[in-house]
Structure 1
């Protein structure tokens, strides 16, 4: 029997008992019948209460079933709310399925994008992040304090902000673009942070600026030097042997001046030609190469110079050395670095040691390290040593390290300097 029918019958019985008791007591003066009818009214009230409690319990079970997604609980098939219950249950299931699909989609998206994404709560705890965070930063982030200066920027931000920051990852320094958004989700204030490396873009822009500057300088200087060199050579050829001067010393001075002018203009022309190598560096012709073989060839080429300076050479290979590179360009980088190391150690009387090592760093990047005991590089020179035309040598051109760095950048890597207690170390990093 349905709940509405039972409730209607109980209400009719209750009303009949109340009216009968009143009629029996008022007109018939039958106390026993009145008492019996009142007991019947109480029983009807009790059964009504029981019915309401049962309905309430069934409603609670139905709500629990909806909340838990349990189809075994809920209302009976004959219950008048069964149809509505099934409709609500289906809507909740569809909404839950859509939410799970959306969550899976967002999780998959976060995993596959290269941009590092972190979500911090009001306490600074990282409640969400994607795998790109560990790849970019080289470590796991659990709190804003793990981000050092970037963490302070996040904690102090009160609105959507963006900035750039330096990040030291192992021996490499990176430049990060930081974007922060503040959102309130379910009443909780969250800070959503995205991190992206812009180091390569900055290096590329820097190299392009150097190239443009080099083209302008070499073009203007060459336009001035070329006619001077030609004029000096012409004047030298036009001077007759029988040309007489009042003073023989004047003739010798003129010949010396023309010879000096010709020599210096030719030297400047050669100097400009070397500068042009920075702006005209071809793209690397990549192929699978063994770095160990490349290093050994360079050492063989410079074997005589090392022996002449009595420099002890040590080679160490602790990693798989196959890499995609342009062997000739990498050899040029290594020759520049080894020659610099030989020059740095040329004035030392003892402990002349040159060490070449092929290994991988903590991020799995392959590198060639060229270390020497030549005393190292001053802090002032470290800031400028990769700038084209800068040199601390009297006869230096200032393009060796700049060209070497440009070659490594074009290979997707970098050339970095690491000071040693009594020397210098340059690492050729491969991406």
Structure 2
């Protein structure tokens, strides 16, 4: 509507100017007398005045448009158009339209600032450190938790982290996206650092989160020690209690049945047999306790791996050749599937053979008494390029209650065994910067997966 009035006004001005100058030319050229010349002068003056008003009208409108565009360009939404409302109704309508648009911008900006303040408040309150960094290393945003963790009250560039900790600076300066890193940082601080990247207006920013997991790890360590002490106490008491009881029984036999006759001790044959049986039981329990202690020594004194370049498929073939006869004697079908692609890893062949042998032996025991029992070993690379070995059996599986405990030292669901094999295997894989995991469906299938992280192979 305003534009239509503006357009109509321009047309009126142009029509008036054209009419004035046309009349001036007609009066001078066609009529040519004195009154006509006087009339021509008046028409010319009228045309000039109309032209002036047209120029001022357009100039004023352009000036308003320029001010309006500048206010949007520089986000100056406090500007108000109202000083010339009295000059022309067109300007009043234009002013009202501009003011309405600027009011809408002010409202939108206030809403965005409110949301931004809301997000900033949340970021300052979360217990996870957060830092947003440009590709040039400048710090866009850092919350209070991050400042507290890195022990800096102000930080504008990651170069300021060099004097604090060079390792942290190196991580933030060359960190790849969507990865995690564990760092022992300062005193009583163990950081897990996560990174991701985000593209905003053709600029890439990296978002880092810092979390101090020292207290959580300490709590887990305490819980692990408590569980280990419970198991040790249970095993030791299982051995000591019958030994103590038998010792009391044997002493009682000697007190009652041992007779001194003419400088000789005489013991009835029945009592002698009881003594032999008791001493044999004590010997067996003592041997069991010694074996248990040897198992603990093996777990706590595991040698460091002697890393060398290994061919994963050759390692599996060599280990399977060692186990083939044992699996066959157990009446179990044994096979391994190796892809044609060569896979290289870094590791200690002797320690890794121990892990595979232990997993296969566990699979043999899990298949005892099962028809059509089968053990299969597969290998290759997963979707992330990490080399892996999987030991699969179709035996009795693992009950859900035990699945989270099977890697605990000395925990076992078998009638015989120390419960050290799987925990020892997991420790070996941790020394190889890898993982050992299990998936099991009771009565159907169990899969143990050895995985080597590709950045360490």
Determine whether 1:132 maps to 2:177: yes
Offset at residue 249 of structure 1 (A): 2.3
- How far is 1:37 from its partner? 5.2
CA shift in 2, pair 1:277/1:246, >3 Å: closer
1:287 aligned onto 2:308: yes
Say yes or no: does 1:395 pair with 2:440: no
Query: Residue deviations 1:172-203, cap 9 Å, x none?
Result: xxxx9999xxxxx9xxxxxx997789999988
- Whether 1:106 aligns to 2:134 is yes
Matched with 2:287 is 266
Given that residues 308 and 347 in structure 2 are in contact (C-alpha distance below 8 angstroms), is that contact kept between their aligned partners in structure 1? yes
Q: Deviations over 1:249-298 (max 9, x none)?
A: 22332343334323322320221220233333333332211122222222
Q: Which residue of 2 aligns with 1:141?
A: none
Flag structure 2 segments of 5+ consecutive residues without an equivalent.
1-33, 74-131, 139-174, 181-191, 201-205, 251-262
Check whether the contact 2:133–2:207 (CA below 8 A) recurs between aligned residues. Answer: no
Q: CA RMSD in A?
A: 5.1
TM-score normalised to structure 1 length: 0.52
The 8 Å contact of residues 418 and 425 in structure 1, kept in 2 or not, is answered as: yes
How far off its partner does 1:358 sit? 0.6
Q: Which residue of 2 aligns with 1:335?
A: 357
Return the TM-score normalized by structure 2.
Answer: 0.50
Structure 2 CA distance, aligned partners of 1:426 and 1:388?
A: 17
- Structure 2 residue corresponding to 1:251, chosen from 260, 264, 272: 272
**Are residues 393 and 217 of structure 1, via their aligned partners in 2, closer, same or farther at CA, if it must alter by over 3 Å?**
closer
**Residues 26-425 of structure 1: pairs in structure 2 closer than 5 A:** 35=39, 38-49=42-53, 51-52=55-56, 53=58, 106=134, 132-133=177-178, 206=220, 210=224, 214=228, 244-318=265-339, 319-348=341-370, 350-419=371-440, 422-425=444-447
Task: Report the count of equivalent residues.
Answer: 286
Distance 1:375 1:422 in 2: 6
Q: What is the CA–CA distance in structure 2 between the aligned matches of 1:45 and 1:425, rounded to whole Å?
A: 96
Task: Structure 1: state its 5+ residue gaps.
Answer: 1-29, 69-103, 111-129, 137-175, 180-184, 186-191, 236-241
Which residue is 1:182 aligned to?
none
Deviations 1:74-133 (A, max 9, x none): xxxxxxxxxxxxxxxxxxxxxxxxxxxxxx9736779xxxxxxxxxxxxxxxxxxx9835
Q: Distance in 2 between matches of 1:289 and 1:374?
A: 31
Aligned-pair distance for 1:382?
1.6
Q: Any conservation in 1 of the 2:231–2:410 contact (CA below 8 Å)?
A: no
Residue in 1 aligned with 2:168? none
Per-residue deviation at 1:367? 0.8
Offset, 1:246: 3.6
Q: Distance in 2 between matches of 1:204 and 1:364?
A: 33
Relative contact order, higher structure (CA 8 A, sep 6+): 1
The Cα shift of 1:206 comes to 4.8
**Residues of 2 paired with 1:368 and 1:296: CA distance?**
12
State the secondary structure of the residue aligned to 1:382: coil
| Residues 208-263 of structure 1: per-residue CA shift (max 9 Å, x gap) | 864686489769998997xx99xx9xx9xxxxxx9733412223323433343233
Distance between the aligned counterparts of 2:308 and 2:272, measured in 1? 60
Aligned CA distance change for structure 1 residues 221 and 313 (closer, same or farther; 3 Å): closer
Q: Is the contact made by 2:328 and 2:334 (CA closer than 8 Å) also made in structure 1? A: no
Contact 1:287 1:326 in 2 (8 A): yes
TM-superposed CA distance for 1:389, in Å, is 1.9
* Alpha-carbon displacement from aligned partner over 1:19-46 (angstroms, at most 9, x marks no partner): xxxxxxxxxxx98787555434323323
Q: What secondary structure sits across from 1:425 in the alignment? A: strand
